[in-house]
Structure 1
Amino acid sequence: MKALIVSIAFLFVAFTCMMAQIPSVKVEDSKGAQFNTSSLINHKTPMIISFWATTCKPCIRELDAINEQMPDWLGEAEFRVVAVSTDDSRSTAKARSMAEGHGWDDFVMLYDKNQEFMRAMNVSLTPQVFVVDVDGKIVYSHTGYAPGSERELLKAIQKLQK
């Protein structure tokens, strides 16, 4: 009986996460202009959304790994990467500089200085990564980073291409 209750709870949480949609929140883009997160949904290209912070070493390692693999991955599937800095307004300049220094030029860079998008996406720890389909539905999510776990992102993207 206990196993049944745990299984039902797990399925409910999994179903809720998978049916979640990208919320509409205003953040800054790489040029400092207001950007509405709902405009990320273009009904053409799935995306990886990664929440990161300048003080989070695993976040930086994960984004570097994605950046390194991205040219090969784009040969296998079409997608975009959205990197959302959760640094506050005092650290935004450092986040912009770090993104530039790491060569994350192919990423859509967003700066969530008030952590509104972070809260709307129910992110409590970084790195938190989502794979989102063309309609803005979250189809995969994970927290934390271990070397090689970025391959799960490609698998999730490839499933959307079928």
Structure 2
Amino acid sequence: MVSLLKVYHLFLFKLQGDKMLKKNFLALIVFLLFGNLMLVQAEEEKSLKGKTAPEISLKNLEGEEVALKDYYGKGPILIAFWATWCKPCIKEIKKFKEILKPYREIEEGDKVQILAISVDDSKNISKVKPFAKRKKFDFPVLLDAEKVAQNAFQVFQVPYTFILDKNGKIVYSHTGFKPGDEKEVEKIVKELIEQN
């Protein structure tokens, strides 16, 4: 990072009169930094896969403390990190609700559980409950304004999805959302339910 700043300042000094070249150089620096962040994120996704999920406890919308381990033993767990201001997050959660509905209504045996962890900060936390009600979230919504879960799961952007097996082992993680991602999630959930 320091060397990039030195190079940037050197170019600014050398290119004082050429504004277009400065803009292009600045765009290149931003692109390289963003690309580096994406590589780091991909490596972190790989590093958690196969490990037991971090032990975390968060408050739900009613203010009750809920531990992630309380959901173990009942079937696969889908954890969706989201925010009220994140449009892709809302699209993702809507798709998950639709595609996982049959796996949430299984009469006997393991059912998939959805946990939505809001990353809204303390200024926006009051918006989460009415938002979840308006969007008809019919699963637990946990609040992470203090970034406890985000830090534990190494989440630096949203949407971010994890799937845990019923024992809490991370079997899948994915950042971002594009239509079709939900099919991969359904496939993994179905496999986990069939394994038990």
Q: TM-score, with normalisation over the residues of structure 1?
A: 0.83
Please give the residue correspondences for 1:117-156 in structure 2 after superposition, counting only pairs within 5 Å: 117-156=149-188
Aligned counterpart in structure 1 of residue 85 of structure 2, from 55, 65, 71: 55
Task: Check the 8 A contact 2:54/2:152 in 1, yes or no.
Answer: yes
CA distance in 2, matches of 1:159, 1:70: 13
Cα displacement (A) at 1:119? 0.7
CA distance in 2, matches of 1:34, 1:44: 19
Considering fraction of residues, name the structure with more helix: 2
Structure 2: gaps of 5 or more residues: 1-41
| Secondary structure in structure 2 of the residue aligned to 1:94 | helix
Kindly indicate whether residue 67 of structure 2 is the aligned counterpart of residue 36 of structure 1.
yes
CA distance in 1, matches of 2:78, 2:100: 11
| Secondary structure in structure 2 of the residue aligned to 1:117 | helix
CA distance in 2, matches of 1:125, 1:135: 26
Count of residue pairs brought into register by the alignment? 150
Q: Which of 69-78 and 49-58 deviates more?
A: 69-78
Task: Check the 8 A contact 2:74/2:111 in 1, yes or no.
Answer: no
Q: Which of 31-40 and 95-104 deviates more?
A: 31-40
CA distance in 1, matches of 2:104, 2:67: 26
Aligned residue in 2 for 1:94: 127
Kindly indicate whether residue 79 of structure 2 is the aligned counterpart of residue 46 of structure 1.
no
Whose radius of gyration is greater, 1 or 2? Answer: 2
Task: Check the 8 A contact 1:27/1:113 in 2, yes or no.
Answer: no
CA distance in 2, matches of 1:111, 1:19: 25
User: For residues 40 and 78 of structure 1, do their structure 2 counterparts lie closer, same or farther at Cα, with a shift above 3 Å needed?
Assistant: closer
RMSD (Å), alpha carbons: 2.3
Aligned counterpart in structure 2 of residue 104 of structure 1, from 120, 137, 141: 137
User: For residues 74 and 27 of structure 1, do their structure 2 counterparts lie closer, same or farther at Cα, with a shift above 3 Å needed?
Assistant: closer
CA shift digits 1:12-70 (9 cap, x unpaired): x74x42222222223111211222233232x2311100000111110011011112233
| Secondary structure in structure 2 of the residue aligned to 1:19 | coil
Aligned counterpart in structure 1 of residue 50 of structure 2, from 4, 7, 19: 19
Q: Partner amino acid for 1:23?
A: P
Q: Which structure would you say has the larger RCO, counting Cα contacts within 8 Å and 6 or more residues apart?
A: 1
User: Percentage identity across aligned positions?
Assistant: 32
CA distance in 1, matches of 2:91, 2:77: 19
| Secondary structure in structure 1 of the residue aligned to 2:49 | helix
Q: Partner amino acid for 1:123?
A: V
Aligned counterpart in structure 2 of residue 72 of structure 1, from 102, 115, 126: 102
Structure 1: gaps of 5 or more residues: 1-9
CA distance in 2, matches of 1:119, 1:86: 11
Task: Check the 8 A contact 1:27/1:34 in 2, yes or no.
Answer: yes
Q: TM-score, with normalisation over the residues of structure 2?
A: 0.69
